[in-house]
Structure 1
Amino acid sequence: MGDPHRVGIVGLGFISRAYLDTLANHPAVRLTAVADLDPTRSAAVAAELPGTEAISVEHLLGSADVDTVLNLTVPAAHAEISLRAIDAGKNVFVEKPLAVTFPEGREIIDRAAAAGVLVGCAPDTVLGTGAQTARAAIDSGLIGRPLSASAVMITPGHERWHPDPDFYYTAGGGPLLDMGPYYITALIHLLGPVRTVLGAASRLRTERVIGSGARTGHRIPVEVDSHVSGVLEHVNGALSTITTSFDGVATTAAPIEVHGEIGTLAVPDPNHFDGETRLFPLGGTGWRTLPLSAGYTGAGRGTGLLDLVTAGAQRAPRAGGELALHVLETMTALLRSADEGRRIELTTTAERPSPVPLTPVDESLGRSPEGSGRPPE
């Protein structure tokens, strides 16, 4: 089956632990190198992983022992690190969002295509049994023709639990760019690509107070909108409404609901891989939970990278760069719409990724059929 695909990780902050839990002992990949601006952090991670070297970012990006760079830096650095990796001939898998701005995201995809390397991007949670079971229900006609959907994410703000939440309130942060990728990616898996958007946004607080860690009580400025609402018009004619907010305490709304001619689906939280999909049929008397019918079981953060490097020539990666670019344009267009007060037509589109059969992640993503995992010629 060839050697495991060689992965180097740049950025070892809060989210890296979830990726390490998935990738560290997976037979399809080998973590050959890690790098962080804090060398003590990279040294500590490397010490946990036999055969993994703690090196500088520059050394990692140029290493002949790295096939794919897993970019877990803060959003503002996503484009810089991804472009440097691409220019070094590496595949890239990026933590969401693909970039802070749409032009940066466009450049990542274009430069990767010119270099003949692959780009993947989180979120990969939509490849789990939650969103995939809901998609299978829609595709099988269980709710009839889908007409509309709603997506709701409301929290008091990440400063309550994150010890260093500053970047959530600077360029590239905010509830839409931070959490919107989960919801919009799921909506595209469920209903297909987006054609136009109309947005509104607000920023009613100028600062936040850190609630945990060594900086508890420290005040940080809010430089981005903290509540964003919008309407997405999908190519198939369905309308989705979305609300993402760091300005609420709680909500009773389902994370995602899809309404069709003969039924409504309640879709589980797209920030998780699993969860119950529930159906309320037309003329029914209550909700019923659907059995799991699709998706990677036992999946965790990094499943999208595994899907990318094992796709080979048989199919496109399900967490691929073109989808991530379309999601990024959808979000940045919503923010631009809110700022300009007008409807905006998107310039990108994306194919719905191929559905994921109900399969244990370790069985379907065992080893790369391409050996090194390099893109096909």
Structure 2
Amino acid sequence: MGDPHRVGVIGLGVISRQYLDTLAHHPAVRIAAVADLDSDRAAAAAAELPGAEVTSAERLIGSPDLQTVLNLTIPAAHAEISLAAIAAGRNIYGEKPLAVTFPEGRSIVDRAAAAGVRVGCAPDTVLGTGTQTARAAIDDGLIGRPLSASAVMVTPGHERWHPHPDFYYAPGGGPLLDMGPYYLSALVHLLGPVRAVVGAAGRLRAERIIGSGPRLGESVPVQVQTHVTGALEHTNGAISTITTSFDGVTTTAAPIEVQGETGTLAVPDPNYFDGEVRCFPLGGDGWRVLPPRAGYAGAGRGIGLIDLVTAGDGRLPRAGGEMALHVLEIMTALLRSADEGRRIELSTAVRRPAPVPLTRLAEWTARDAAL
């Protein structure tokens, strides 16, 4: 077994816990350094990571001992940190979205290609058994030719539970850029890339009240659209719709549903790795549950980074930069369409990532340890 791939983490907020739980115990990688604006938070994380150094973002990016930077900063800082890491010759894997604007995202992907380094980006939840089992069913013709799909996410807003929700309502936030990557990445895995979009959007309130933590009761200004819906034209002819909202309470709609000529699939929430995939066949008398047949079973956030650093034999990373850029363009085009009142054709095209064979936790841990 070779030496583990050395990773440095920048940003140790709420989401970092899930990444550390996955990466700290995987033999293919080792977290060698951490950095955060809150030095106490960085020290607390390092205390759970044997041998990890607490440092600044600048020193971490410049360290010749690191191969990949895991960028878990707020969306507004994604491009700055990623571009700095690329300039230093590091691979980059980041939280979604890839960047706040499409030109920034395009710059990240183009500069990485020129520098010969890899780019990966969340979400990697779509590599779990939920989305991947649904994809396998579609690819095997279980529902015939896919015609349409719907994706729905409705919540009353993250300020109810997040102690510092400001960035959710600043540029780069909002329900589409925050939660849309899960649903749009799943739709691309299931139906393929998108060629054009039409969007509509609105904003319920001009401020939000923090509902927990030390800032309980504090007001946060809303600078983004908080209810976004749109239609997506896929290159294979299918048409899907998406609704993302921080303005509603809940919904009875399936997170994702795919309609085909000979059946309908109910797909689990792509914010999670696993979940029940159900099929209602033409002429059937009810839904039936499909057993897991594809995807990383028992995975956690960070498996996309492992997939990135262990990709070989010419295989592109499944949670790679081109995919993240395509999803970013879909989202920014939907917002532009809503603002301008017109259909927008996309400039990016992406291949559907390679499917994930059904791989149990112990299997992919042992396999990657041998690389």
Shorter-chain TM-score category? over 0.9
How many Å separate the matches in 1 of 2:128 and 2:197?
27
How many Å separate the matches in 2 of 1:287 and 1:363?
31
How many Å separate the matches in 2 of 1:38 and 1:145?
51
* 8 Å CA contact retained: 2:46, 2:54: yes
How many Å separate the matches in 2 of 1:216 and 1:369?
45
How many Å separate the matches in 2 of 1:66 and 1:37?
20
- In structure 1, what is the equivalent of residue 80 of structure 2? 80
Residue 253 of structure 1 aligns to which amino acid in structure 2?
A
Q: How does 1:197-276 map to 2 (within 5 A)?
A: 197-276=197-276
How many Å separate the matches in 2 of 1:279 and 1:207?
41
* 8 Å CA contact retained: 2:144, 2:263: yes
Deviation at 1:366, TM superposition (A): 4.4
- In structure 2, what is the equivalent of residue 303 of structure 1? 303
- In structure 2, what is the equivalent of residue 98 of structure 1? 98
Deviation at 1:240, TM superposition (A): 0.3
* 8 Å CA contact retained: 1:12, 1:41: yes
Q: How does 1:326-345 map to 2 (within 5 A)?
A: 326-345=326-345
Deviation at 1:47, TM superposition (A): 1.1
* 8 Å CA contact retained: 1:4, 1:367: no
How many Å separate the matches in 2 of 1:52 and 1:315?
30
How many Å separate the matches in 1 of 2:17 and 2:89?
26
Unaligned runs of 5+ in 1: 372-377
* 8 Å CA contact retained: 1:310, 1:365: no
Matched, 1:54 2:54: yes
How many Å separate the matches in 1 of 2:281 and 2:330?
31
* 8 Å CA contact retained: 1:307, 1:365: no
- For each residue in 1:285-317, what CA deviation from the matched residue of structure 2 results, as whole angstroms up to 9, or x when unmatched? 111100110000110000000000111234111
Helix, strand or coil at the partner of 1:195: strand
How many Å separate the matches in 2 of 1:44 and 1:356?
35
How many Å separate the matches in 2 of 1:366 and 1:33?
24
- In structure 2, what is the equivalent of residue 151 of structure 1? 151
Paired positions, count: 371
Helix, strand or coil at the partner of 1:300: coil
How many Å separate the matches in 1 of 2:348 and 2:314?
24
- For each residue in 1:316-370, what CA deviation from the matched residue of structure 2 results, as whole angstroms up to 9, or x when unmatched? 1100000000000000000000000000000001100000000124423546699
- Per the normalisation by structure 2, the TM-score is 0.98
* 8 Å CA contact retained: 1:312, 1:368: no
How many Å separate the matches in 2 of 1:359 and 1:156?
36
* 8 Å CA contact retained: 1:4, 1:368: no
Helix, strand or coil at the partner of 2:279: strand
- In structure 2, what is the equivalent of residue 375 of structure 1? none
Helix, strand or coil at the partner of 1:299: coil
* 8 Å CA contact retained: 2:27, 2:368: no
* 8 Å CA contact retained: 1:306, 1:365: no
How many Å separate the matches in 2 of 1:95 and 1:273?
16
How many Å separate the matches in 2 of 1:361 and 1:115?
33
- In structure 2, what is the equivalent of residue 10 of structure 1? 10
* 8 Å CA contact retained: 1:198, 1:334: yes
- For each residue in 1:5-35, what CA deviation from the matched residue of structure 2 results, as whole angstroms up to 9, or x when unmatched? 0000000000000000000121000000000
How many Å separate the matches in 1 of 2:361 and 2:94?
20
Residue 199 of structure 2 aligns to which amino acid in structure 1?
G
- For each residue in 1:257-278, what CA deviation from the matched residue of structure 2 results, as whole angstroms up to 9, or x when unmatched? 0000000000000000000000
* 8 Å CA contact retained: 1:120, 1:304: yes
- In structure 2, what is the equivalent of residue 36 of structure 1? 36
How many Å separate the matches in 2 of 1:130 and 1:23?
21
How many Å separate the matches in 2 of 1:331 and 1:47?
38
Matched, 1:164 2:164: yes
* 8 Å CA contact retained: 2:27, 2:369: no
* 8 Å CA contact retained: 1:28, 1:367: no
- In structure 2, what is the equivalent of residue 355 of structure 1? 355
Residue 87 of structure 2 aligns to which amino acid in structure 1?
D
- In structure 1, what is the equivalent of residue 116 of structure 2? 116
- For each residue in 1:210-255, what CA deviation from the matched residue of structure 2 results, as whole angstroms up to 9, or x when unmatched? 0000001111110000000000000000000000000000100000
- In structure 2, what is the equivalent of residue 125 of structure 1? 125
How many Å separate the matches in 1 of 2:108 and 2:366?
28
- In structure 2, what is the equivalent of residue 374 of structure 1? none
How many Å separate the matches in 1 of 2:35 and 2:245?
33
Matched, 1:287 2:287: yes
- In structure 2, what is the equivalent of residue 26 of structure 1? 26
Residue 220 of structure 1 aligns to which amino acid in structure 2?
V
How many Å separate the matches in 2 of 1:264 and 1:18?
33
Moved beyond 2 Å, runs of 4+: 361-371
- For each residue in 1:83-102, what CA deviation from the matched residue of structure 2 results, as whole angstroms up to 9, or x when unmatched? 00000000000100000000
How many Å separate the matches in 1 of 2:37 and 2:70?
15
* 8 Å CA contact retained: 1:311, 1:368: no
> Residues 42 and 367 of structure 1: is their aligned pair in 2 closer, same or farther, counting only changes over 3 Å?
farther
- Per the normalisation by structure 1, the TM-score is 0.97
* 8 Å CA contact retained: 2:123, 2:182: yes
Deviation at 1:204, TM superposition (A): 2.0
Helix, strand or coil at the partner of 2:47: helix
How many Å separate the matches in 2 of 1:362 and 1:342?
49
> Residues 328 and 181 of structure 1: is their aligned pair in 2 closer, same or farther, counting only changes over 3 Å?
same
